[in-house]
Structure 1
Amino acid sequence: MRPGKQSGRLVLPVGLALCLLTACGGGGRLPVTAPTTERVPTAGGASAPVAARTYDPPLRFQDGEGHDVGQGQWSGLLEGTTAYAVSEGEARAVNALDGRQLWSVKPEGQPMDRVVFGIEDIAAPRLVEVGGKRALLAAFTITEPGSGTTPDRHLVELTAIAADSGERLWTTRIARPAGQEDGELYFAGADAGTAVLTFGSEIDPVTVGVSLSSRRTAWTEKGFQAVFVDGGVAVGRGGADPEGGGGTGTVEGRRAADGTKAWTYRSELDTAEVKQAGEGLFTAVVDVPSPTGGNTATLLSAATGKEPAGLDAAKALGAPSALTCWTGEGTAVVCDAETESTEQVVALDPANWTRLWAISEDDESRLMPSVSAVFHGAVYGETENGYAVLDARTGKDRGSGPGSPPFSVNEYAGLFRAALGTIEVHPAVG
């Protein structure tokens, strides 16, 4: 595995996951703009004018130590000049330009004690509209203390937090499904009306939809492990049978509103891995039982469970056995594709799915980057020389710098991973 390459392992956490659904910006690269003044929320919810220069896309970031967003097990996301972050016991917002903490929210109930897992425990932050306000949804596992002969009980505390001020808009407590009174919780995602939570492991998963209007459980699906929500569809692995030994049976999509099945991609699978690519697309890597064995991978639509119209993924990507892709607001779809013999970064034109460019690990003239993010026509990745920024349409170098690349980027800043899951934000400077 090359330096900086992210593992595709999905770990389902016991503690907190946070969900905000954001709408991506328009396609195409934009020119660097003149300095603009944006009103940045302060810790008390008021706003103060701060001169924020935009670089769209940014090619360089502030050197040295960045501003801490979260130390330890955190996940983060940028929106405007704000970095949102979540851990198992807290949600917070930090000014991406100067590192000021804007607000912090912790569960009202007693957080559940848990064993520390790896840095992939925490789901990425997302945003959703709640009562006409931009809100961050946070799901905490809490313990309701027992009394007398009544034992402690573990619940889910679901909270809607105003993204600008940190005000609690509402908080509700959700009972865990039968058979999942303890163990892992993962916040798969949300749409305008439903939050989707997954309990348990891939052997015995249960996925629950919670109505954001009634704030109660709307549906429950045993054997389904939702991984993400996109366009009103919860995408994940289905068909798990704990009594028969567990395991994955299908890759499927279920409607977030009511849990009914929208589509099935493959069935009778030994294993399956799905990853959200963005803009309604995702990758699926599956192991179909066969005499020869081995994985097959492709790029699919979250709406249909099929390859996008006009795409022959096996031809365009070289019949990969492992695949991760990033979308670029209409400029390109960039993929890291592995086969049994080689690995390459490939850019496809989403208009007709033709190949724009590729860099292979066998290329003696260029170092293949380990891609971490794509934003407004720029591809961010890591080589042995540090981070590199490539043009998404041509593959040519546009910028470089020391250290690791950002995993989340906008026109103001980048989020970077430090040791043991710590997240830092570095303002863009060029």
Structure 2
Amino acid sequence: MATTAVTAALILVAGCGGNDKKADSPSGDGNGQSSASPSPTAPSLKTFDPPKTFMVDNAFPVPADKTLDTYDTARKGMVGHVALIGHRAGITGHDVADPSKTWMIKSTETATTSVEDMSQIVAVKVDGKDVALVAYSQVDKGNGTKKPQGVVVFQWIDVSAGQKLAEVATPVSTVEGTGTYAAGSPGLGSFQYDPETGQVAIGVSARGLLLAKTQNATVYADPKTKKSTVVPGVIPGALRNGVFAGSAGTNGGTTPDSSIVIVDGASGKTTKKTPVGQSSLGPLSGGIKHGYFYGSVYSTAKGTDVSTLYSVDLATGAVVKTVPGLSARDSGGYGCTWDQASAIVCTASAASGPKEIFGFDDDTGKKAWGYTTLSGGRIVPNVTAAFHGILYAQTEAQPVLMDAKTGADLPSGTPSGGPSSTPSDGSTPTDGATPSSGDTPSDSGSPSEGGNGKGDLGLFNGKSESPEAVSPYGGIYGQLPSNSSYGEYELIAIYLKPTA
């Protein structure tokens, strides 16, 4: 595979594991995602499900917006053949099959509405279309005699057309104030979704005032019916076919009254409740078959909090529990990533001290593998994404691949073409020019196939990193702008084209 100086390849070659039957050959439908070009003139892209080898193919600069708060960091997403960058103002889509196509969907069109928060951007299917799903927390400041109120807004965006497919707005609290942090505006938490239906459930919490007569609630919505339901006192942990699992109870303090519940989304009715005797219980990440939770309770015998991991079968409500490798004090809780297939991988949230990584098998709901830095021998990497059996992660030295179901390392190569293919100092090519139509690598990774249009590959710093979002059409991650670009750009979104 030949490359030019600015089209450095990120080689992540997996020899085994994952979905091997389809991993090493292009997939025609990308797991249901159409590989057809968005228009007759758009160049086609090979798809791999899951992709294991990438090549830096485009760099999309994200202009700095002086009107945005500093904590409004960009969200990155990859839905079908569209790379997505989101802020509270809205989502911008870059069609990687035809980079001249760019669109923007605003979070709100109403001048009297302020957007306080937004969720991650995830990929779902609605009527067979590749759709981006996002949630916003908004404050409707009211007009006339209408009182201000907090609102959760879901948007489903057809990424090929760059148009909203559906939108559902749900009032969840009454705001008794004004300003950016108006009391009662809903804070967004656990975000669960069904990738095959586009149904969504998000946990919300009150900012200052009680929400729906309790501090926490779940907002459920369906793009087909365009209806929503607010379920007080529950935080969602998984969602499938209109049914979600959640945690219920005081979720803190010393009272061990937490339960795992199964709820019908449309009606909001609890169909099963299983007490687990925890004083704190929170969701991790849901799979297709199970929801996953982390609980803790104070043990007078041990004089410290004792933590437990739980999974619940969405179909039967059966609960399975296991024990994490680290104590409640050392772990600091867990952050988890679902591969949209059959594995959920979690890492300890604590910023310092020992680290842990483990995986659940979603077919059984049981912990399948795991290790900690206390056991020695292996590094716990920074997990950036997971997709169809592959875990994408970053160590201090390089991007790595792991088998999401077993935790086994998968072989990783070096950048194709050796050191000469990547500028060693992060600079652009020696002639100072950015890629042009004449800079055509022989492997068809030319700017005319994706390194052109709305992007600027000359902004790539020469060091490839692990993707933060993945589809059969590639991946995307955020790179900090160069010193000369600080102030002009917030970040550079790097698109990785799959090559194997």
**Length-normalised TM-score, structure 2:** 0.61
**Is the 1:32–1:54 contact (alpha carbons within 8 Å) kept by the matching residues of 2?**
no
Structure-to-structure mapping, 1:178-193, within 5 angstroms:
182-186=184-188, 188-189=191-192, 192=197
State the AA in 2 paired with 1:109: T
Higher mean alpha-carbon deviation, 171-180 vs 265-274, is at 171-180
Q: 1:47 to 1:232 in 2, by over 3 A?
A: farther
Choose the corresponding residue for 2:396, options 369, 374, 384. 384
**Is the 1:389–1:400 contact (alpha carbons within 8 Å) kept by the matching residues of 2?**
no
Structure-to-structure mapping, 1:144-183, within 5 angstroms:
145-147=142-144, 152=148, 155-171=151-167, 173-177=169-173, 182-183=184-185
Alpha-carbon RMSD: 4.6
SS at match of 1:297: strand
Q: 1:70 to 1:259 in 2, by over 3 A?
A: farther
SS at match of 1:30: helix
State the AA in 1 paired with 2:122: P
Q: 1:52 to 1:35 in 2, by over 3 A?
A: farther
Q: 1:166 to 1:248 in 2, by over 3 A?
A: farther
Choose the corresponding residue for 1:204, options 215, 230, 240. 215
State the AA in 2 paired with 1:113: S
Query: Is residue 33 of structure 1 aligned with residue 29 of structure 2?
Result: no
State the AA in 2 paired with 1:183: S
Structure-to-structure mapping, 1:43-62, within 5 angstroms:
46=39, 48-62=41-55
Tell me the equivalent position of 2:475. 414
Cα distance in 2 for partners of 1:280, 1:429 equals 31
Tell me the equivalent position of 1:77. 77
**Is the 1:196–1:210 contact (alpha carbons within 8 Å) kept by the matching residues of 2?**
yes
List alignment gaps of at least 5 residues for structure 2: 1-17, 29-33, 65-71, 177-182, 208-213, 415-462, 481-489
Query: Is residue 399 of structure 1 aligned with residue 412 of structure 2?
Result: yes
**Is the 1:235–1:253 contact (alpha carbons within 8 Å) kept by the matching residues of 2?**
yes
Query: Is residue 284 of structure 1 aligned with residue 293 of structure 2?
Result: yes
Percent identical among aligned pairs is: 16
Q: 1:39 to 1:400 in 2, by over 3 A?
A: same
Structure-to-structure mapping, 1:16-415, within 5 angstroms:
27-28=19-20, 30-33=22-25, 38-41=35-38, 46=39, 48-63=41-56, 66-68=59-61, 73-96=73-96, 99-106=99-106, 107-110=108-111, 112-113=113-114, 122-129=119-126, 135-140=131-136, 141=138, 143=140, 145-147=142-144, 152=148, 155-171=151-167, 173-177=169-173, 182-186=184-188, 188-189=191-192, 192=197, 195-196=200-201, 198-201=203-206, 204-210=215-221, 212=223, 215-217=226-228, 219-226=229-236, 229-240=239-250, 249-266=258-275, 269-291=278-300, 292-301=303-312, 303=314, 304-307=316-319, 313-314=322-323, 318=325, 321=328, 322-326=333-337, 334-336=345-347, 343-346=355-358, 360-362=372-374, 365-392=377-404, 393=406, 395-399=408-412, 404-415=465-476
**Per-residue Cα deviation, 1:171-213 (whole angstroms, up to 9, x for no partner):** 5654344579841253845554865454434971233444655
Aligned residues: 388
Cα distance in 2 for partners of 1:246, 1:357 equals 32
Q: 1:152 to 1:334 in 2, by over 3 A?
A: closer
**Is the 2:79–2:122 contact (alpha carbons within 8 Å) kept by the matching residues of 1?**
no
Q: 1:426 to 1:208 in 2, by over 3 A?
A: same
**Per-residue Cα deviation, 1:44-98 (whole angstroms, up to 9, x for no partner):** xx45442313344433433497435797533343233223444323134322456
Cα distance in 2 for partners of 1:196, 1:31 equals 31
Query: Aligned-pair distance for 1:162?
Result: 3.0
List alignment gaps of at least 5 residues for structure 1: 1-25
**Is the 2:235–2:283 contact (alpha carbons within 8 Å) kept by the matching residues of 1?**
no
**Is the 1:85–1:92 contact (alpha carbons within 8 Å) kept by the matching residues of 2?**
yes
SS at match of 2:55: coil
Query: Aligned-pair distance for 1:114?
Result: 5.7
Query: Aligned-pair distance for 1:299?
Result: 4.5
Query: Aligned-pair distance for 1:414?
Result: 1.7
**Is the 1:40–1:95 contact (alpha carbons within 8 Å) kept by the matching residues of 2?**
no
**Is the 2:129–2:158 contact (alpha carbons within 8 Å) kept by the matching residues of 1?**
yes
Cα distance in 2 for partners of 1:333, 1:198 equals 19
State the AA in 1 paired with 2:24: V
State the AA in 2 paired with 1:411: P
**Per-residue Cα deviation, 1:101-122 (whole angstroms, up to 9, x for no partner):** 543211232363366x7xxx52
Query: Aligned-pair distance for 1:386?
Result: 1.9
Tell me the equivalent position of 1:4. none
SS at match of 1:73: coil
Query: Aligned-pair distance for 1:256?
Result: 1.2
State the AA in 2 paired with 1:380: Y
Cα distance in 2 for partners of 1:241, 1:283 equals 15
Q: 1:276 to 1:29 in 2, by over 3 A?
A: farther
**Is the 1:283–1:297 contact (alpha carbons within 8 Å) kept by the matching residues of 2?**
no
**Per-residue Cα deviation, 1:297-319 (whole angstroms, up to 9, x for no partner):** 325135055446xxx633xx657
Query: Aligned-pair distance for 1:227?
Result: 5.5
**Per-residue Cα deviation, 1:331-379 (whole angstroms, up to 9, x for no partner):** 7664546999954434566677898765542465443323333334433
State the AA in 2 paired with 1:75: R
Q: 1:352 to 1:232 in 2, by over 3 A?
A: closer
State the AA in 1 paired with 2:311: L
**Is the 1:230–1:280 contact (alpha carbons within 8 Å) kept by the matching residues of 2?**
yes
Higher mean alpha-carbon deviation, 334-343 vs 397-406, is at 334-343
Larger relative strand fraction: 1
Q: 1:350 to 1:241 in 2, by over 3 A?
A: closer
Q: 1:260 to 1:422 in 2, by over 3 A?
A: farther
Q: 1:47 to 1:171 in 2, by over 3 A?
A: farther
State the AA in 2 paired with 1:313: T
Cα distance in 1 for partners of 2:379, 2:154 equals 45
**Is the 1:285–1:295 contact (alpha carbons within 8 Å) kept by the matching residues of 2?**
no
State the AA in 2 paired with 1:382: Q
Query: Is residue 428 of structure 1 aligned with residue 498 of structure 2?
Result: yes
State the AA in 1 paired with 2:119: I
Cα distance in 1 for partners of 2:494, 2:278 equals 39
Query: Aligned-pair distance for 1:285?
Result: 1.3
State the AA in 2 paired with 1:104: M
